[in-house]
Structure 1
Amino acid sequence: MIVGTAGHIDHGKTALVRALTGVDGDRLAEEKARGITIELGFAYADLGGGGITGFVDVPGHERLIHTMLAGAGGIDMALLVVAADDGIMPQTREHLAILDLLGIRRAIVALTKADLAGPERRAEVVEEIRDALAGTNLGDAPVMAVSSVTGEGIDDLRAALAACEAEAAARDASGLFRFAVDRSFVLQGVGTVVTGTVLAGRVGLDDSVMISPMGLSARVRGIHAQNRKAAEGVAGQRCALNLAGDGVTKEAIHRGDLLLAPALHAPTARIDAELTLLASEPKPLGIWFPARLYSHAFETGVRIVPLQGPLSPGGRGLVQLVLEHPVAATVGDTFILRDTSASRTIGGGRFLDLRPPARKRSTPERLAWLEASRIEGPEAALSALVADPAGGMDGRDEMPAAVTVDLPAFLRDRGLPYRSLSQMPACIGVAAIGDLVLSSSALDRLRADLLAQLQTFHEENPDLSGIGREKLRLSLTPRLPKDSFLRFLGEEAGAGRVALDGAFVRLPGHMVKLSPEDEALFSRIHPQLLGEGRFRPPRVRDFANAFEIDEREIRRMMRLTQKLGWTDQIAHDHFFAREVTREMVAIILDVAEQSEDGWFTAPAFRDRVQNGRKVAIEILDFFDRLGLTLRRGDLRRINPHRVDLFGD
């Protein structure tokens, strides 16, 4: 368990931690000289339950709130310190507000310096504390009077903390590794060391990690967990990690960086979030409001865009955060906002979407997406994200556009290892196309839309074999990414619902049909593709001149006959009847068989069809392209694997 102290400056936080653990959290000479905590202090102790409890001692000075925030992000419970002689002070209230905004729900209030106050004063301060806690997550926190000077209440407080540790549930370590860095330094003979809290997952010796957001790779070569040498660190522990790797130096790693499992490295500078604005704010929060953002130990400037109109003091709403610097975040991470001068806390909340759009960020669809993102649990959230809007068409003529989710990105942004949808059985009413997830009803509509569009296209264009894949993709709803669309088409073709014809898609039973006019024209052309001149038939231009018809019409009609399998375009504008093509294949096979080694020349073929060298080579080039013949210089031979290319 990690316990974080909170409270006003000089209220005895460090002395209390020392009394509980025997460790002085002030480690800097300046801290000892001035008697205040400037940097985060850490202490560890076995409080009697056999486990190791870590204490994060944070500064209480107003100007050091940013340091307090660096330590508050990873704590399991708070030890709120209020001096009996002073009572509730400004930094006490601000620390309490921060703990509430961060969602901390477990705390003990230590009424310190109890030796300086009599029973009446103690009762008065306890009443102040109760008033301050009212309406927060810590409203039921017990208040215990203690004195670090006389030892009053220290044993009772230690026992209460031990009981809390025994009741505390271990953090789930099944997610991928995430570690918030709050210090980076060098130990002689050891190398670069970082300290912080394991937010999720676990890390072992020799594991590879990514330092994010910079994207620097490192290897873990030493671990101290809860101040003890260990083989691994797990979620909920404070750890010191000895890192190695190219460029891994003290100067390269900063407070606020995260160590991650490499699969999680995907920093972002734009986040949609849920924000609670403190009631103490003087006016509503408007668009593009500047502030400072703190999440775990990370700090950066930010602009705030309310998504549902100005956010009133004491209100809660959806906002978009535009960060000055990218952050390695996870959906569900909490954050605090302070004003640009860092003199007061404005509010806080949690991240909902790490990849929001910069435009159309307040549409009903986006707001519905963010409402679904509030749901706890990946399966429930995924089901809600892709669910069709309640009430079907909701009075509109058309269904709203279906929502699709990239499953690997969805899991990564939640710090979870990759799983296919089949490994998430609790996702009700959800289907997948590869790793693209959508609702089962949306997939049914997509299939129906696909068939309807193909049917309409065939009715309007009976002379075309099918519709182009990209044109079809852009016309369907939802519009799938190209890779997912190709997979979808493959699955539909495998099920026999559509047929794929190169870059075109058609219904399985569709056949190209000639119009009566085209049939009449082909009936005049076809006889001239047969007979004695069949191995050297007229070209498109010849037919156009003979029939006084535009070349383009002849060419269009002949290409349709090619799609029907009636003709083959051997060379540009030079069409041969399919039966003549088969005859030429038989001739080539015979010419090859009569050669000594199976290799034959173009003149040998030319002499058999008697059509001239140029046309003979065009024909052979055609068969080369189809793979029927294999060429080596001026020689060719038959490819035995393609001899049935024009079989019946």
Structure 2
Amino acid sequence: MDNLIIGTAGHVDHGKTMLVKALTGVDTDRLKEEKERGISIELGFAPLTLPGGRRAGIVDVPGHERFIKNMLAGVGGIDLVLLVIAADEGVMPQTKEHMDIINLLQVERGVVVLTKIDLVDEEWLALVREEVAGFLKGTTLEGAPVVEVSTITGQGLDELVRTIDRVAAEVRPKPATGQVRLPVDRVFSVTGFGTVATGTLWSGVMKTGDLLDIMPAGISTRIRSLQVHGARVEEARAGQRVAVNLTGVEVEDVPRGSVLAAPGSLLPSHRLDVRLLLIPETRPLKHRARVRLHLGTAEILARVVLLDRDELSPGEKTLAQLELEEPAVAARGDRFVIRSYSPMHTIGGGSVIDPVARKHRRMREEVIRSLLTREKGTPEELLFQQLDSRPALFTAAELARAAGLSEDEAGKALSSLSAGGKMREIPAEKQSYFVSRRVYGEWGEAVRQLLQDYHREFPLREGFPKEELRSRKFPQLNSKQLQFILAAMEKDGLVRVHAQDVSLPDFSPRPGPAQERQVNGLLQLYRESGYQPPSWSEACRQVGLTGPQAGEILQYLLRQGALIRVSDEILFHPVPLQDLRKSLVDFLQEREGISVGEARDLWQTSRKYALPLLEYFDRERVTRRVGDKRVLARGLEQKDRP
């Protein structure tokens, strides 16, 4: 790989910082207190160019037990570890704890460096070699090369560089194609530039000018400039140590433990579903034990919820949920470490299964089965589990993020699910939504039953109001999403969609026998009343129509065009209304205009009807008002165009 992050690990005063200085020329102890005490307290960083041309960044971590949390902030993103063991002391307590952390984080490539060989004789060195070999058995560094060096005499340093170069060739590169994710391990302010955050870019590509989210706070920012190994660059790639100059934020907005991420790519959560391992050399862990979670560069207090037992024994693994006291962001597969609350020492760790988990009920087989699928399932199984878990619409990006897949992996899995008939794609304006066939089928049946009952109760209405349908059956969707669902259901022959309503595909509003007699009576009355129709209440009284049915029949007649509303109080039958229109157009084609009084005389009616009729014809663009008269609308001056 072209970019490489190397981390040191080992007991305090075993020569980690001196080794880094000998390899790079950089003294990573930058704090005054570190100089005075002769130990590393904070993380240190130094660049190293390997013989093969690879550019490496070395993260020098503290070895003292009091600063293990700082060590954990730096070790999360490393590709290769230098486990430093002083030849004059051998394996010590923090050597063991650092090795536990390396195991728990699954750092699989490394070099064991025996330092201070100038202080011991060959016989002692042979004993230390034997001790180290036994210590490494069963760890991720079993079989790792061991190089003996002295930073005082320079012995072994060239061999160490060659060995690092050889082992580096075996390291898998971090995914530059994924979403940007950089856990922040240091933040400071530079005069004239503002806030600068540093960390290892775990995935993706950062470019000057890109927008970022500071998570879990959810603060938006933009990249002003970038540095890699102290040099300004326009672009930083996964696997590099990066300093990011951020716009519009203060140092306190980006504390250690924050993650710089592509906008919308991570969701904060107070719960993580995990596979948890308790290391052998510790005490049993009880359900709801309080622990310190180290995730990326963050340290968060949490409770361990054991899902299938009340106590986890040393050396055992189990499925668990971590309830966090502060929100965190993670991705599926992220490694983590837990330490006891007090006294603080490393007790276990594992990997994230679901970074945005819901609360589970304990001792449930279905919960365990679901988590096992999420842990070991194929991309198709992971996506289908998300789709089938709740009645909702998902975008491809949301599914990929929830399942911990790349967008490319998610796209292929979605195609496979669609071909297998397990998923329904819902086309939208700029993207598609996805829903499982089971959920889609349940939605369709629920809508069918609702409409069937509605049509039976209200046979004259065109259909069920869309917004009421959304609030009753789809409260989790917004109005636009409901439109897309209904369009898909209409295409599948499940419904018919109208402007404001939705109905069954074969439904047409029609009155029953008793209603039909009343409808016919009303239409006859309005047609025969000509230019002076009765009010609706009077018409209903004449045909014996009362109560809510009167309103139902009126709306039906208006939708059918069997009656036309001229004003709030006046209804006309279409035939006499058409006669009125023709006589008005004929009149105006012979004269320059018509007043209300002239219209009243023309139609032999009263002002009560003449004025509303003229205003109606204005709205219908048959006429237009000029002063206190009406003239023909443009386009009708020469010829009537009914």
TM-score, normalised with respect to structure 1? 0.82
Aligned amino acid, residue 276 of structure 2 = T
Q: Aligned residues: percent identity? A: 34
- 1:536 is aligned to 532
For 2:612 and 2:359, the matched residues in 1 are separated by: 56
For 1:250 and 1:357, the matched residues in 2 are separated by: 32
Q: Is the 8 A contact 2:201 2:242 kept in 1?
A: yes
1:613 matched to 2:607? The reply is yes
Unaligned runs of 5+ in 2: none
For 1:642 and 1:466, the matched residues in 2 are separated by: 37
Superposition deviation, residue 232 in structure 1: 1.9
Superposition deviation, residue 38 in structure 1: 0.8
1:363-512 superposed matches below 5 A: 370-374=371-375, 381-386=382-387, 404-411=393-400, 426-429=415-418, 430-433=423-426, 434=428, 435-440=432-437, 442-443=439-440, 446-447=443-444, 450=447, 454-455=451-452, 457-458=454-455, 461-473=458-470, 480-493=477-490, 498-512=495-509
For 1:614 and 1:267, the matched residues in 2 are separated by: 65
Distance 1:176 1:565, change over 3 A: same
1:6 matched to 2:9? The reply is yes
For 2:311 and 2:628, the matched residues in 1 are separated by: 81
Secondary structure of 1:437's counterpart equals strand
Q: Is the 8 A contact 2:379 2:410 kept in 1?
A: no
For 1:136 and 1:632, the matched residues in 2 are separated by: 95
For 1:557 and 1:228, the matched residues in 2 are separated by: 79
- 1:568 is aligned to 564
Distance 1:604 1:518, change over 3 A: same
Superposition deviation, residue 65 in structure 1: 0.9
Unaligned runs of 5+ in 1: 389-399
Aligned amino acid, residue 516 of structure 1 = P
1:296-311 superposed matches below 5 A: 296-308=296-308, 310=310
Aligned amino acid, residue 225 of structure 1 = V
Secondary structure of 2:270's counterpart equals strand
For 2:158 and 2:278, the matched residues in 1 are separated by: 36
Distance 1:512 1:215, change over 3 A: closer
For 1:96 and 1:642, the matched residues in 2 are separated by: 92
1:174-213 superposed matches below 5 A: 174-187=177-190, 192-213=195-216
Superposition deviation, residue 326 in structure 1: 3.7
Q: Which one of the candidate residues 58, 76, 79 is aligned to 2:79?
A: 76
Q: Is the 8 A contact 1:4 1:72 kept in 2?
A: yes
Q: How many residues align?
A: 626
Q: Structure 1 stretch 96-105 or stretch 559-568: which is displaced more?
A: 559-568
For 1:432 and 1:59, the matched residues in 2 are separated by: 52
For 2:144 and 2:26, the matched residues in 1 are separated by: 25
Deviations 1:500-547 (A, max 9, x none): 22321123432112111111223333321122x223322233244445
- 1:158 is aligned to 161
Deviations 1:531-571 (A, max 9, x none): 2x223322233244445553433333333333444223444
For 1:372 and 1:446, the matched residues in 2 are separated by: 25
Q: Is the 8 A contact 1:382 1:427 kept in 2?
A: no
Deviations 1:106-158 (A, max 9, x none): 22222333445566655554555455444444444344443434444433322
- 1:294 is aligned to 294
Q: Is the 8 A contact 1:172 1:235 kept in 2?
A: yes
For 2:152 and 2:342, the matched residues in 1 are separated by: 37
For 1:406 and 1:368, the matched residues in 2 are separated by: 25
Q: Structure 1 stretch 568-577 or stretch 48-57: which is displaced more?
A: 568-577
- 1:259 is aligned to 260
For 2:190 and 2:301, the matched residues in 1 are separated by: 32
Q: Is the 8 A contact 2:29 2:40 kept in 1?
A: yes
RMSD: 4.0
Q: Structure 1 stretch 623-632 or stretch 29-38: which is displaced more?
A: 623-632
Superposition deviation, residue 579 in structure 1: 3.2
Q: Structure 1 stretch 506-515 or stretch 604-613: which is displaced more?
A: 604-613
For 1:423 and 1:631, the matched residues in 2 are separated by: 64
Distance 1:239 1:312, change over 3 A: same
Superposition deviation, residue 632 in structure 1: 7.8
Distance 1:578 1:312, change over 3 A: farther
1:516 matched to 2:513? The reply is yes
1:22-61 superposed matches below 5 A: 22-61=25-64
- 2:237 is aligned to 234
Superposition deviation, residue 63 in structure 1: 1.0
Superposition deviation, residue 621 in structure 1: 5.2
For 1:340 and 1:638, the matched residues in 2 are separated by: 88
Distance 1:359 1:623, change over 3 A: farther
Superposition deviation, residue 360 in structure 1: 7.3
Superposition deviation, residue 81 in structure 1: 2.1
Superposition deviation, residue 161 in structure 1: 0.8
1:98-137 superposed matches below 5 A: 98-117=101-120, 122=125, 125-126=128-129, 128-137=131-140
Distance 1:467 1:548, change over 3 A: closer
Superposition deviation, residue 59 in structure 1: 0.5
Q: Is the 8 A contact 1:112 1:148 kept in 2?
A: yes
Secondary structure of 2:53's counterpart equals coil
Secondary structure of 2:564's counterpart equals strand
Deviations 1:212-248 (A, max 9, x none): 44455554444331344433211100122344x34x4
Superposition deviation, residue 251 in structure 1: 4.9
Secondary structure of 1:27's counterpart equals coil
Q: Is the 8 A contact 2:292 2:299 kept in 1?
A: yes
Q: Which one of the candidate residues 554, 559, 563 is aligned to 1:558?
A: 554
